[in-house]
A and B are shown apart, each in its own frame.
Chain A
Amino acid sequence: MANRITLQIGRYHPEHDPEPWFESYEVPSRKEWVVLDALNYVKDHVDGSLTFRWSCRMGVCGSCGMMINGVPKLSCATFLSDCAPGPVRVEPLKNFAILRDLVVDTSDFLVKLAKARPWIIRKVEKPLDEEYFQTPEQVDAYKQFSMCINCMLCYAACPVYGLDPLFMGPAAIALAQRYNMDSRDEGAGERMDILSQHDGIWGCTFVGECTKACPKKVDPAGAIQQYKLTASIEWVKALVLPRGAT
């Protein structure tokens, strides 16, 4: 007799639903199955209209973020056996507008990510046949922040992001810091102008839930606190040497 588990999945049809509601599905709970497998089972065998995002199914693409029993998780990385005996409550990612079922509108995050200028900024580009060299220590300085897969679990975990529409959010700031700490980058000043706006990073009150939610151990909370310290030092420097160094 195969194991079965009940999923309570958030449904929302914008065409005719005034608000989201839950539908219960009983699915087989095979050994090593993750929540994503259960969702695909529902879509393949029970209700083809169930809508959700997924891609790599191995925790590197960042597509399948959703709330599983109230905690932001990747559905491809959450084992059904860990949720047993169930029921498992599956909802769309918190703090984002819901487009349909488990799919959310990520455009706010993408706008904020672009604001962080997440690319190497140089005053003068090196010619193509010249390499950049980095020592292991220089790589170590930003490596942790480069592991971000843009899954937005940190945005779902962050209460400030839910309350303050102007807050940049954990991943965007962590990625800004990833480039600020990169020895090849010369754009720290430009990013500081955007991020050290009232509310840009200063809305953060170090709740720390973003770091707990992150599946790639990026530690965005740490990145933000480091950035606050850097911004404060820059502020003092600007005060003391008004026409001094950037």
Chain B
Amino acid sequence: MDSSAKLIMGRRSNEPFLWLLFSAGGVVAAMLLPIHLFLFGFAFPLGWLKGPSYESLLALLRHPVTRFYLLVFCCLPLFHWAHRFRFTLYDGLQIKHLNELINIFCYGGAIVGTAVAVYLLWNIP
């Protein structure tokens, strides 16, 4: 296959934008997800630690800083997943010819997840 014909000189790709999102999401996932899973996935539900009461947790959640923090917490790791999973489908399952469908599923999924997060965090009673 004459690959040289396909490497056309031209405008630079916008792939860097997706890679930056992936990297940012990777950092957030690496730094913050483990402790959140430990506290909210194990320690509180299984009673290892005394968790905050319903009221105090809701009060914490109402704070605008917490809402912004949680927005970043949910949005960036989803884009990290989208980018990484897209390439896993390309290379792992060798279905790169379906790349349009894959892109819609991955990045679309991340956008939907972000929209859900925005909706939920906006509408805290």
Contacts and interface: CB of A to CB of B under 8 A. Distances in A.
Interface in A158-202: 159-160, 163-166, 168, 192-194, 196-198, 200, 202
Interface string B108-120: 0000000000000
Closest 8 pairs between A and B when the two form their complex, measured CB to CB: A235-B16, A232-B16, A202-B15, A198-B13, A196-B12, A111-B4, A165-B3, A205-B87
A57 interface: no
Contacts of A168: 7
A228 interface: yes
Contacts of A236: 16, 20
Contact of A166 (B6, B12, B19, B87): B6
B94 to A, nearest CB: 6
A198 B87 CA distance: 13
B48 interface: no
B8 A197 contact: yes
B9 A194 contact: yes
A160 B91 contact: yes
20 contacts: A112-B3, A115-B4, A163-B94, A164-B90, A165-B1, A165-B3, A166-B7, A193-B9, A194-B9, A196-B12, A197-B7, A197-B13, A202-B15, A202-B19, A205-B84, A228-B16, A228-B19, A232-B19, A235-B14, A238-B12
Interface in B1-55: 1, 3-4, 6-10, 12-17, 19-20
Contact of B7 (A115, A192, A202): A115
A168 B3 CA distance: 10
Interface of B: 1, 3-4, 6-10, 12-17, 19-20, 84, 87, 90-91, 94, 96
A165 B90 CA distance: 13
| Chain A interface mostly | helix
Contact of B3 (A166, A192, A194, A234): A166
Contacts of B90: 163-164
B52 to A, nearest CB: 39
Nearest to A192: B12
Contacts, number: 66
Interface in A92-126: 108, 111-112, 115
Contacts of A196: 12-13, 15-16
Given A192-B12, A193-B9, A193-B10, A111 B19 contact: no
Contacts of A108: 3
Given A232-B19, A232-B20, A163 B10 contact: no
Contacts of B96: 163-164
B3 A111 contact: yes
Given A164-B96, A194-B9, A205-B87, A231 B16 contact: yes
Interface string A23-54: 00000000000000000000000000000000
Interface-central residue, B16, B17, B96, by most chain A CB under 10 Å: B16
Contacts of B17: 235
B14 to A, nearest CB: 7
A198 B15 contact: yes
Contacts of B20: 232, 235-236
Nearest to B91: A163
B98 to A, nearest CB: 14
Given A163-B96, A232-B19, A200 B91 contact: no
